[in-house]
Amino acid sequence: MEATQQYIAGSKEKFLNELMDFLKIPSISADPAYSDAVHQTAEFVANQLKNIGLDAVEICQTAGYPVVYGEKMIDENLPTVLVYGHYDVQPADPIDLWTNPPFEPVIKTTPIHPQGAIFARGACDDKGQAFMHVKAVEAMLASGELTCNVKFMIEGEEEVGSENLAIFVNENVDRLKADIILVSDTGMLANDVPSITTGLRGLSYVEVEVTGPNRDLHSGLYGGCVANPINILTTMIASMHDENRKITIPGFYDKVIELSAEERAEMAKAPFSHEKYCEALDIETTFGETGYSTMERGSIRPTLDVNGIWGGYTGEGAKTVIPSKAYAKISMRLVPDQNPDEITNLFQTHFEKIAPQGVKVKVKPHHGGEAAVTPIDSIGYKAAALAYESTFGKKPIPVRSGGSIPIVAMFEKVLGLKTILMGFGLDSDAIHSPNEHYGLFNFYRGIETIPYFYKHFAELSKE
Ligand code: BES
Ligand code: MN
Ligand code: MN
């Protein structure tokens, strides 16, 4: 990998400039106003794949945004790595809280990134991370050191649920034939504490509507006489956690796999500072389910959280009104073996049951997905661990993440393939938030580490 590493060392500026161009296109998949930009971003990715020398590059149209495909098949006897990433990003709002415009990337240093970080929407999630794979393969191809066949599948709808990707994968099982899936769309513990993500939570997401009277009412004339949908909705939501912060929906925990004492002890070995955690968030203390550590609450335990709530008058000054309707968006993060459709049904049944007389309720399910876990005794995991050792000089720690990438479980079902999650972001990189950024250290270290995965995966596959 000598030549590959030299190529990377000599291309740092070029790689960074190209990433900047990638970040400048506002590929917000959730907002139809950005549709042209999302398509333009797919073209950018396709051009990149062509320029680094991949074959069969194609912008594959779907009912939504395209999937960009490209491959380099060097020898049918070698193993094949399927790289997945996403070129779409989250909306940038609240825009006022950004210190630079979200699609005009700038490099700034932070206490955690003394060597500089690139600030832009998508810098870490996932343009910066997906781009590391493009550049790592460029380096291996240019140096004649690619040791596996490689296929790229970069989609444009991850942040909105990957519905069309699921269709694409089902229709392209042959084209996507591979031995392992490689993804950088997660994080690691710290820049000096490398870790590999071995689990992702699933997701069930619902929107609820509570309707009281048929129109907004004067809160003096009608106050105290009719059910106020906001009062009712907040009471219903509050009742969904008990005094131990356990979720009260009947059956919610039935399929949850509890970890053994050994597994929990192993997890507890990962470094975690309660003090630093609170300090970074400016909170006095953490909050959550009794009997579990913060690390556990955020990874191996399911949750129920309101993501947004609205209704009534929220403008300037006071308006005395009892609203006709109240709404909330609620996410439930799931763990193995909870099934998202089942959980959505349990939620719906419960929500309808606890609604008092005098209001009508509606539950609208959104996208969801299953949790996923990766075994650490597979050759994929071993190859990744050896790769981190080569560049970080220490063994990575296996860590289960609280985030969700629903297509990982789908890949396993449809393609029969496990995914290795080599994420290089940090929790403090503010993904989905204002001032999202990605450390230059992380970007370059990722590009340097990925080639070693190919080397070790090829070697371990021979044995
Ligand atoms: N890359 C994230 C998921 C992630 C981030 C996992 C950090 C682990 C660590 C992904 O783009 C994402 O945001 N997923 C969504 C779910 C999706 C269905 C919109 C999420 O987790 O909220
Ligand atoms: Mn992502
Ligand atoms: Mn995301």
Q: Distance between CA atoms of 343 and 206, rounded to whole angstroms?
A: 10
What's the 119 CA to ligand 2 centre distance in angstroms? 16
**Interval between CA 356 and ligand 3 midpoint (Å):** 37
Of all residues in the chain, the percent with pLDDT exceeding 70 is: 100
> What residues are paired with 107 via a beta bridge?
118
Compute the average pLDDT of residues 295-314. Answer: 97
Indicate if ligand 1 lies below 6 Å from the C-beta of 12.
Answer: no
Query: What is the predicted pLDDT for the residue at 94?
Result: 95
Q: 81 vs 70, 152, 227, CA distance in Å? A: 12, 8, 58
Atom in ligand 1 nearest the alpha carbon of residue 432: 13
Whether residue 125 contacts residue 185, with contact meaning beta carbons closer than 8 Å, is answered with yes
Please check the confidence at residue 366 and state whether its pLDDT lies above 90. yes
Residues 182 and 82: beta-carbon distance below 8 Å: yes
For position 308, what pLDDT does the model report?
96
Residue 367 pLDDT exceeds 90: no
Pocket test for ligand 1, best of 28, 132, 185, 399 (most atoms within 8 A of CB): 185
The predicted model gives 417-444 an average pLDDT of: 98
Tokens at residue 446, please? Answer: 């990722």
* Interval 243-293: pLDDT, tens: 999 999 999 999 999 999 999 998 899 999 999 999 999 999 999 999 999
Is the C-beta atom of 158 inside 6 A of ligand 1? yes
- 82 pLDDT above the threshold of 90: yes
404 C-alpha vs ligand 1 centroid, how far in Å? Answer: 5
User: CA-CA distance, 141 to 454, in Å (whole number)?
Assistant: 12
Q: Which atom of ligand 1 is nearest to the CA of 205?
A: 18
108 touches 116 (CB < 8 A): yes
State yes or no: pLDDT of 303 exceeds 90: yes
Q: For the chain, how big is the Rg over CA atoms in Å? A: 24
Query: Which residues, in sequence order, are CB contacts of 309 under 8 Å at separation 6+?
Result: 233, 234, 237, 326, 327, 328, 329
Q: Specify the amino acid at residue 120.
A: A
Rounded CA separation 420/407 (Å):
13
Q: Do residues 165 and 402 touch, judged by C-beta distance below 8 A?
A: no
Nearest Cα residue to atom 6 of ligand 1: 403
**Could you tell me the distance, in angstroms and rounded to a whole number, from the CA of residue 337 to the centre of ligand 3?**
23
pLDDT of 40 reads: 98
Cα–Cα distance between 56 and 41 in angstroms, integer? 18
- What's the mean per-residue pLDDT of the chain? 97
The alpha carbon torsion through 121, 123, 129, 134 (nearest 10 deg) reads 100
Phi first, then psi: what are they for 345, rounded to 5°?
A: -65, -45
Which residue puts its alpha carbon closest to atom 19 of ligand 1? 159
Question: According to the model, what pLDDT value does residue 100 have?
Answer: 98
Ligand closest in space to the Cα of 200: 1
Give the C-alpha separation, 416 to 409, whole Å.
Answer: 10
Cβ of 125 below 6 Å from ligand 1: yes
User: 403, 381, 391, 402: which is closest to 442 by C-alpha?
Assistant: 391
CB 157 within 8 A of CB 48: no
Using the predicted structure, report yes or no on whether residue 463 has a pLDDT greater than 90.
Answer: no
Q: Which domains does the chain have, with CATH numbers?
A: 2-200+371-462 (3.40.630.10), 202-256+302-369 (3.30.70.360)
Mean pLDDT of 95-114: 97
Residues 161-200 pLDDT 10s: 999 999 999 999 999 999 999 999 999 999 999 999 999 9
Quickly tell me which residue has 């000598």 as its tokens: 2
Q: Is the CB of 24 under 6 A from ligand 1?
A: no
In which band, very low, low, confident or very high, does the pLDDT at 408 lie, cut at 50, 70 and 90?
Answer: very high
